[in-house]
Amino acid sequence: MNIEARQTSPIIRVLVVDDSTMSRRKMAMAIKKLGHDRVVEADSGEAALSILKENDVDLILLDIMMPGLDGFGVLEVLRADKRLSSIPVLVISGMDGDMESVARAIELGATDFLPKEFNAVLFRARVEACIEKKRLRDGELDYLAQVDRIAEAARFMEEEAFHPSKLGLSGVADRDDSIGQLARVFTEMAQQVYDRERALSRSVRTAKGLVLLLLAGIVGGLMVPMSALLFSRIPMATGLSFWGDLLPGIMCLGGAALMGRVGTLSRQTLVFLTAWAILNVVPGIILFEATERVSGITLSIILAFQGLSVFAIAAVLRMEEASWRRFLGLLVGLSGAVVLIAARGTDDGINPWIWVLIAISIPILWAMTDVLIAAGESKSTMPPIAALGVMYLLSAVLTLPFALAQGQLFMLSPDLGVGFWLILLNALVDTGNYVFYLLLIAVAGAVFASQTAYVTTLAGVFWSILLLGEQMTSGATIALALIFAGLLVVGPKREAVDLDVQFVPRTRRKGLSGVFRRK
């Protein structure tokens, strides 16, 4: 198919250059009689170049003998300019007897020549031939430009992570010629590659996510029995919380500094991290105190309420869809809390069900932290690990006055015996739990990461049985089943996942076929 078949009634712009007013008007009238109304006149070579600098022209009728910059000078400028060199030039001059000058004009790029006393039929033939040549040249350049766009899209697809919408071929694919068909085929192939690589990326991210999910859950499940073991040896909740924040803060900031990923602490980030630290202080102190009054299994089950609490808070803030199905799931999960409370007796004059209620504040505060992070993390000017370190240090600063006021601040030294090593191990567990969780979010997204509630609770029950010698009661089993049922009914928020993928040719493939970048 001829490329120019799509172009109907093109607008031809003709520039007439002659120092003679009469000659200019004669040629302009002759051009208009051929049906080309857009004619511009220039009385000198300098004026012609000024017009050409600001306008696109399809044909130039050029006189050679002019004062100042003559026709030869104009031709030399046109030939040196890439944009102007493709414009056909029909030299019309009174030097028809000077064949040497005519030859020089042709050598300088003139398309054809006519004497000023031209024949109307011959003038029409020469003008139409020049215009057709310009049309064909424009079509050729346009065709090559579209081919270049496809070639550039292929290069980009091969060398960079891409998304089909970013290849920029929609306009080319709209053409009804062969290059349009090629663009449509290429776009379809790119979409198929994208779909395949995106599916593979999801499989890879899911596999990595499962590993990190297990690590985060197993390490997170250690928090309850580790807190119980620590508090049984050093019954000073605020003192333990102080060291439990200070040591992870040093670890995280030290690791971020070694990786060269500390970032800057802006005022907005400081406010965000301070709010995070406030929400982090209270649950840590409550957890230590609750371990003396509530079993590790019960506390581990209570922590599963974090997922339900996140939904409840997000629904109130209209960050989540509050459907009846999800609301029913919340009620089922809360019934698990009722079972836990009803299954408790009394001990030493204290009603443990009160401490079950107090312990439920832990996952609620953690849920508030999750919502806070979801709302403010994107505005942080610090990388996640460094921000985590600053949050821990701020928590330690907030805890310090309470530890001093209660006389619970103690020196951390090997003289504490087993307690010293338990504090260090607890700091590693706490740091590892958060780091694995952040890595899980980076790899698999926040929705997938929310599933750690299941693994953490199951791991917490297992560690409590193994390290604390506890046994699973029928009430705890019923409560665990109800809470898990509620979590399943509520479900996580659907996450819109869009990826940039990279196609790797077979000649360069080693291992996986693509590199995936999350948008």
Confidence band for 263, pLDDT divided at 50, 70 and 90: confident
Give the strands of the sheet with 89-93, arranged side by side.
38-42, 13-17, 59-62, 89-93, 112-115
Question: Domain boundaries in the chain?
Answer: 3-143, 149-195, 196-501
Instruction: Give percent of the chain above pLDDT 90.
Output: 17
Please tell me the predicted confidence (pLDDT) of residue 509: 45
In 3-state terms, what secondary structure has residue 234?
coil
The answer for residues whose C-beta is within 8 angstroms of residue 230's C-beta and 6 or more apart is: 240, 288, 419, 422, 423, 426
Beta strand 499-503 pairing with 89-93: unpaired
Please tell me the predicted confidence (pLDDT) of residue 321: 60
The answer for residues whose C-beta is within 8 angstroms of residue 178's C-beta and 6 or more apart is: 1
Beta strand 514-518 pairing with 499-503: antiparallel
- pTM for the whole structure: 0.58
Higher-confidence position of 437 and 248? 248
Round to whole Å and give the CA distance between 150 and 168: 9
Give the mean pLDDT of 384-413: 93
Widest CA span in the chain: 127
- Residue 517 above 60 pLDDT? no
Q: What superfamily would CATH give domain 3-143?
A: Response regulator (3.40.50.2300)
401-418, pLDDT tens digit by residue?
999 999 999 999 999 999
Confidence band for 152, pLDDT divided at 50, 70 and 90: confident
Instruction: Give percent of the chain above pLDDT 70.
Output: 79
117-138, pLDDT tens digit by residue?
778 888 888 888 888 888 888 7
Please tell me the predicted confidence (pLDDT) of residue 295: 85
Quickly list H helices, 406-473: 418-449, 452-468
Q: Which residues pair with 347 in a beta bridge?
A: 350
| Residue 155 host element (H or E) | helix 120-159
Confidence band for 189, pLDDT divided at 50, 70 and 90: confident
DSSP per-residue letters across 360-373: HHHHHHHHHHHHHH
- Residue 248 to residues 130, 162, 409, 410, 418, Cα–Cα distance (Å): 79, 39, 17, 17, 19
Round to whole Å and give the CA distance between 165 and 158: 15
Please tell me the predicted confidence (pLDDT) of residue 10: 52
Please tell me the predicted confidence (pLDDT) of residue 445: 63
Handedness of CA 274, 278, 283, 289 (dihedral sign): positive
Give the mean pLDDT of 307-329: 68
In 3-state terms, what secondary structure has residue 72?
helix
Joined tokens for residue 8: 């109907």
Confidence band for 277, pLDDT divided at 50, 70 and 90: very high
Q: What angle do CA 203, 204, 210 make, to 5 degrees?
A: 85
Strand positions, DSSP E, 76-160:
89-93, 112-115
Higher-confidence position of 185 and 232? 232
510 phi/psi in degrees, rounded to 5: -140, 115
Give the mean pLDDT of 148-159: 74
Q: Cα–chain-centroid distance for residue 432?
A: 26
Please tell me the predicted confidence (pLDDT) of residue 234: 93
40-96, pLDDT tens digit by residue?
899 999 999 998 888 888 899 988 888 889 888 999 998 888 888 888 998 887 665
Higher-confidence position of 110 and 312? 110
In 3-state terms, what secondary structure has residue 13?
strand
240-251, pLDDT tens digit by residue?
999 999 999 999
Using an 8 Å Cβ cutoff, are 96 and 63 in contact? no
